[in-house]
Amino acid sequence: MSSGSDDFNDDSPQSGSHKQFKFTISNGVVTQVHEFKDGSYESKSIDADDIYTVGANGVVEHRELKLLGTEITRYADVDSDGVYNRISEQWIGSRFVLKDDLKYSPTDGNDFIAVRGGEDCHGGKGSDDFVIREANHLRIGDFFSGDDDLVFDTGLGLTSRDHLVSFIHEIRQEGDNFVVDFGPGISITLVGVHSNQISWDDVSVLS
């Protein structure tokens, strides 16, 4: 797993929270975007390849052309306080194998959950697939072996679990958390999971 691709997000991990955004919307058009970082909202530039649309239900959709395809991210203000969270992502024309939408908040059913840096990643009551597409410090809560799966769908040519293993620097237990370390800046932490509660049968590699 290389971190050299521009598609790999450089979000700072913020355990226990979801990323927060504010949008200035005028006549149905997004004119300003602010992201909460380091205790305050910071302005994000809207480039020529950033396309924001606002649906009739108030959901903001952002389309951005990236190296691996077009990323579509949807944001919702669920409690009408002016603060938006990412609710789902979708990719078009990408090298990712999985074409379904990925959710940021689980349901009571079986979900594909987006695992992203800076997000409080949790599953729900169903059997969930935690889909990993970026190299970052990633944290996953509510993982249950036998019910849930870790799915590596990077679009960067991982061919098998053995190929994935070749990139692992260290596997360790940190208190009640199981940590897989891929080197500087890249790790996966399974919160509340011990080494006897997970196996390679819980891991899938899509290529």
Q: pLDDT of 174-201, one tens digit each?
A: 999 999 999 999 999 999 999 999 999 9
User: Which of residues 94, 123, 140 is at a domain's end?
Assistant: 94
Same domain (yes/no): 49, 149? no
Same domain (yes/no): 113, 194? yes
Same domain (yes/no): 118, 143? yes
pLDDT tier at 207 (50, 70, 90 boundaries)? confident
Backbone angles phi, psi at 190, to 5 degrees: -100, 110
pLDDT in tens, 35-49: 999 899 999 999 988
- Asked, for residue 82, whether it belongs to a domain, the answer is yes
- Asked, for residue 87, whether it belongs to a domain, the answer is yes
Same domain (yes/no): 112, 160? yes
User: Which of residues 94, 120, 145 is at a domain's end?
Assistant: 94
Same domain (yes/no): 153, 78? no
Predicted pLDDT at 9: 40
pLDDT tier at 120 (50, 70, 90 boundaries)? confident
- Asked, for residue 8, whether it belongs to a domain, the answer is no
List alpha helices for the chain, DSSP H. 161-165
Same domain (yes/no): 64, 164? no
Determine the Cα–Cα distance for residues 130 and 138; give it in Å rounded to an integer. 11
Q: How many structural domains comprise the chain?
A: 2
- Asked, for residue 176, whether it belongs to a domain, the answer is yes
The dihedral through the CA atoms of 142, 146, 148, 150 has a sign that is positive
- Asked, for residue 65, whether it belongs to a domain, the answer is yes
Determine the Cα–Cα distance for residues 166 and 157; give it in Å rounded to an integer. 13
Q: Is the pTM of this model over 0.95?
A: no
Same domain (yes/no): 82, 129? no
- Asked, for residue 4, whether it belongs to a domain, the answer is no
Predicted pLDDT at 22: 98
pLDDT over threshold 90, residue 1? no
Same domain (yes/no): 140, 204? yes
Determine the Cα–Cα distance for residues 149 and 127; give it in Å rounded to an integer. 8
Same domain (yes/no): 118, 81? no
Could you tell me what percent of the chain has a pLDDT over 70?
92
pLDDT in tens, 63-116: 999 988 999 999 999 999 999 999 999 999 999 999 999 999 888 899 999 999
- Tell me the residue range of the domain where 90 lies: 18-94
Same domain (yes/no): 43, 78? yes
Determine the Cα–Cα distance for residues 130 and 132; give it in Å rounded to an integer. 7
- Asked, for residue 10, whether it belongs to a domain, the answer is no
Determine the Cα–Cα distance for residues 115 and 112; give it in Å rounded to an integer. 9
Same domain (yes/no): 84, 120? no
Determine the Cα–Cα distance for residues 44 and 50; give it in Å rounded to an integer. 11
Same domain (yes/no): 201, 133? yes
Determine the Cα–Cα distance for residues 195 and 186; give it in Å rounded to an integer. 19
The average confidence (pLDDT) of the chain is 90
Dihedral-angle region of residue 80 (phi above 0 means left; psi in -120 to 50 means alpha; beta otherwise) = left
Predicted pLDDT at 119: 81
